[in-house]
Structure 1
Amino acid sequence: LKERIRSAKSRIFLSTLYIGKTEKELIATLHEALRNNPELKVSILTDALRGTREEPNPSCASLLAPLVTEFGPDRVEIRMYHTPNLTGVRKKYIPKRINEGWGLQHMKLYGIDDEIILSGANLSNDYFTNRQDRYHLFSSKEVTEYFWNIYQGVAGFSFLVEPSKEPAGFALTWPKSNPAPSPLEEPKQFISTTTPALHALISPRQPAAQDASKDTKVYMLAQL
């Protein structure tokens, strides 16, 4: 993954449940790639509950926010999806350690240019060193674009992480450009807007004409 990040030419998009708060090596690799290639853009999507659980102590969000500070929002976008099922009094009183049971964003999509790694592993030390998981690399523009479209769809219904001088080091904002209201303020309207939009992205499509010279078929499955 680090090798591909370093050689990225135009885009990197990473979707995961969270990035471990101590994953400085991965962040350093992203810094290196952005510094070495002014044309490169990076987008990262995590879950809001898991990505901010430790605040105001170091968290996934505070780890990522400095990338925006250094390279600007035009080149680095950090998004965090928040479930509409945990709001109001329920969100206030349910302990952070168990609130993830109300819903999470945990796609593992690691896209670099026209390649993508599909995995079951989060970007954290436990998965890098102590666990075995699945890693499938697709060197296919068509496959990568399919998941890039899903990624953009979910990111467009997510909070934006911005740098902040507050103790937590970041702020979550709901951009006016998002095509739905905040899931924290209008959860029912959020669901009614996002459901058809996201279903359209994973609906079956007319298959392209088969090429007899290719011996591999990929069947896309998605669950919302």
Structure 2
Amino acid sequence: MKQESLSAVKAGITRLRDKGGASKDAVYDLVNGYVTAARTIKSRPGTRISHALPPGTKGLVFFQGKFVVFANDVIASTSPDVEIEVLRHPTVPGAPLKEIHFSMPFLGYLYVVAEFEGASDPRYVHYWLEKGEIWQPGKTYFPGALVRPTDGNGLAYRLESDRSGYVPWAPNVARAVGDVVVPTTDNGFKYTVIETTGASARSGTTEPVWPTNAGETVFEDANIQNALGTNTTDTPAVPPDVKDRYGTGNS
């Protein structure tokens, strides 16, 4: 095949053929280059390596302004522009990550398909990486909140409150100052009785609407007819209303 050196291109790129062979003034195909406005040929510039990805990581995707790679354990990032997401097998947490077969943003989060070594049930695991919000000092978080460290370590943390040792609210239960109760539906707070009214203070028949700001109080009224008496044919006397007042506290 005869070679020709081109310094200028008059006809650009064309697949048309003239009699006698290819034209010296046109290019049939051009790889990794382009024709300038001055009809000269320039090589297409290449890319430069700007980040060294941490060893032991797999896959690569660009998401939310950072290069995201994956590992099965916490690994320190080598660059502020490189973020490491930790993927652990659901039944074999120590299984090493073999390969990332797919990673792409989907509905605001990364959808990832990972393959693990030494785990066959399942071998391929699908993830939808909900990152959670960055932890902030002094902020109140409620049960179920998903947060991640300010520096980022590839993990997200789900908040669970500790209700062990506390008695859930129930109707018609005797109350005394200092009693501590928690709502039947966990909201992250415990409530301490700070004041009662009446000789036989008790909880009401309907659970109060619990405040969720530290330091707030809630009143619980109970109008109960002879709650501690026995069933008789006599008409029971109606005692004065009994009232409890609770103060909030974190559980």
Smaller-chain TM-score range?
A: under 0.3
Larger Cα Rg: Structure 1 or Structure 2? Answer: 2
Q: Which one has a larger percent strand, Structure 1 or Structure 2?
A: 2
Query: Normalized against structure 1, the TM-score is what?
Result: 0.20
Q: Which one has a larger percent helix, Structure 1 or Structure 2?
A: 1
Query: Normalized against structure 2, the TM-score is what?
Result: 0.19
